[in-house]
Amino acid sequence: MFKIGDKILYPMHGAGIIERIDQIEALGELKDYYVLKLAVGNLDVMVPISSSEEVGIRHIVSEEFLEQVYDVLSGKSSAMPKNWNRRYRENMDLLKTGDILNTAEVVRNLLRVDRVKKLSTGEKKMLKNARQILESEIVLVEGATADEVSAKVESQIMIDWHDEDLVEED
């Protein structure tokens, strides 16, 4: 169980700090909720404590672990399907894991694809969401601003990158 003040990641929403724990009645039943203040985007999220494990809530990563995240961002692009629909489903599966390295991979690949050929509307939305999730965790780990982290992520993705790094599979 987490406590007030813990920095956690809520997959598909981003990282934040538990501000309080509220008890709310829903359908005649009292339930405890974490009230999470997200680090990026001025939003509070309520997460039922009873389902926090199954939705993948976890502590944010350590500062030392961020080195691996930046390695993924600056690394070679992954092989991706040419079909945007299959690519979307594969990327969504990676994001649902809540793993920061998977999220970094999705952000890196989609940003690079977007520079070569424009993303579909669904993929643009996915990229925006994935960036927010990734960058919100980095903001909390590094104590930097959202703008600083966004610029750093962007610069890491572009290190030694060339269009031919985009490998597509059928």
CA distances from 64 to 60, 69, 138, 141 (A): 12, 10, 12, 10
Angle formed by the axes of helices 146-157 and 121-142, to 10°? 120
Distant-in-sequence, close-in-space partners of 140: CB < 8 Å, separation ≥ 6: 7, 15, 16, 17, 39, 60
pLDDT in tens, the chain (170 residues): 899 999 999 988 999 999 999 999 988 999 999 999 999 878 899 999 999 999 899 999 999 999 999 999 999 988 888 888 899 999 999 999 999 999 999 999 999 988 888 888 999 999 999 999 999 999 999 999 999 999 999 999 886 566 555 546 55
Position 170 scores a pLDDT of: 52
Q: Look up the pTM and report it.
A: 0.89
Q: Which residues pair with 25 in a beta bridge?
A: 30
Beta strands 80-81 and 168-169 are parallel
Reduced DSSP (H G I as helix, E B as strand, rest coil) percent helix, strand, coil of the chain, to 5: 45, 20, 30
Instruction: Write out the two tokens for 92.
Output: 């969504």
